[in-house]
Amino acid sequence: MLRWMVAEGYGDARTMMRRAENMRKWIDTELELNAKGDTQLLSRDDDATFDAVIEVPLEEVTEPILCAPNDPDDARLLSEVCDGWEVDHLEGVQPPKVDEVFIGSCMTNIGHFRAAGKLLKAHGSPVPTRLWVSPPTKMDEKQLTAEGYYSIYGTAGARTEMPGCSLCMGNQARVADNSTCVSTSTRNFPNRLGNGANVFLSSADVATTAAILGKLPTPAEYLEISAKLDESVEDKADTYRCAAAAAPPPRSAAAAAQRRARSLACLPTRALAHVRSLRLVHLLGVLVLTVVCILCVCVPVL
């Protein structure tokens, strides 16, 4: 992976190649030790068994699963997640209004952002919620920008954050106090995303649907809006492909080597230019100091 990134122009090439070489040496060493029966790697006993085996019959899961505020262990079906959180309206008891939606965290992948973008594009207008979008890596940000999804987010009125943790830890940004939110992160402990905030955890599809409706959807509403993806098997594979598959065809090894050589060849020139600029700054500083000294001596005389 690191070698592929270097070949694709990611930096810093020397740092990544150094790390890749160290990883390779470590693996080779462990393989040699393993062949001698002296490996440091942990391995299971031949008669080891699992403490428990949990089987989930996926054919019985017919609607999305969310976590209710504010406990990541309180997992419920979409049709049940609002139990205890409903609000009385003129039309009767309804799910709570959603104020903010966060699509991001390290548990998302680039496909989740493509799916969200397709739903927002089908919606075709700004969403009524405050929508935050933060891919987990700069690689994903770059690829999503190249594919035009950032323009879609902008049209929908989303706020795009710097790739990283963002609202998940509540350290780069925070939701409004006492707001109701839907998040694709993995934790919704009290006050984590915002002071007094009630946070539902969901998939990116459900979160985007909530952003479009301004409330948590019913299973029927979710199915209606998510159907706008209208994806064939090929479309779905394209949506959830990794960034590497979406990138332009990789350069040849020779081309990658030439690129690295050119980059390294430029280092002396850059260093020389840096030294020259420092000398210029130094000379200007000396000149200014000289003028100040002359003025300090001459002005009292005048």
Average pLDDT of the chain is 81
Domain with 80 in it: 63-243
pLDDT of 239 strictly over 60: yes
Last residue of a domain, one of 218, 243, 268: 243
Whole-number pLDDT of residue 247: 44
Residue 271 lies in a domain: no
The encoded tokens of residue 43 equal 């391995």
pLDDT of 249 strictly over 60: no
Pairing label, strands 75-77, 65-67: antiparallel
Residue 287: φ, ψ to 5°: -60, -45
What is the mean pLDDT of the segment spanning 95-108? 91
Residue 190: φ, ψ to 5°: -55, 135
Angle of helix 13-35 versus helix 253-301 axis, rounded to 10: 130
Compute the distance between CA of residue 91 and CA of residue 18 in angstroms, rounded to an integer.
64
pLDDT of 39 strictly over 50: yes
**Per-residue pLDDT reduced to its tens digit, 151-199:** 999 999 999 999 988 898 888 889 999 999 999 999 999 999 999 999 9
Instruction: Say whether both 14 and 74 belong to one domain.
Output: no
Residue 121 lies in a domain: yes
What is the mean pLDDT of the segment spanning 217-237? 81
Angle of helix 219-226 versus helix 204-213 axis, rounded to 10: 100
pLDDT of 269 strictly over 50: no
Compute the distance between CA of residue 302 and CA of residue 300 in angstroms, rounded to an integer.
5
- pTM recorded for the entire structure: 0.69
Residue 293 lies in a domain: no
Instruction: Say whether both 171 and 93 belong to one domain.
Output: yes
For 183-198, b where at least 16 C-beta lie within 10 A, e where not — what string?
A: bbbebbeeebbbeebb
Helix (H, G, I), strand (E, B), or coil: what is residue 102?
Answer: strand
Instruction: Say whether both 147 and 187 belong to one domain.
Output: yes
Pairing label, strands 130-134, 100-104: parallel
Instruction: Say whether both 31 and 100 belong to one domain.
Output: no
Residue 269 lies in a domain: no
pLDDT of 32 strictly over 80: yes
Residue with the two structure tokens 């830890």: 169
Instruction: Say whether both 218 and 174 belong to one domain.
Output: yes
pLDDT of 252 strictly over 80: no
Residue 195 lies in a domain: yes
Whole-number pLDDT of residue 294: 73
Instruction: Say whether both 206 and 86 belong to one domain.
Output: yes
Please answer whether residues 204 and 103 qualify as being in contact, where contact means their C-beta atoms are separated by less than 8 angstroms: yes
Compute the distance between CA of residue 118 and CA of residue 67 in angstroms, rounded to an integer.
24
Q: What percent of the chain has pLDDT over 90?
A: 49
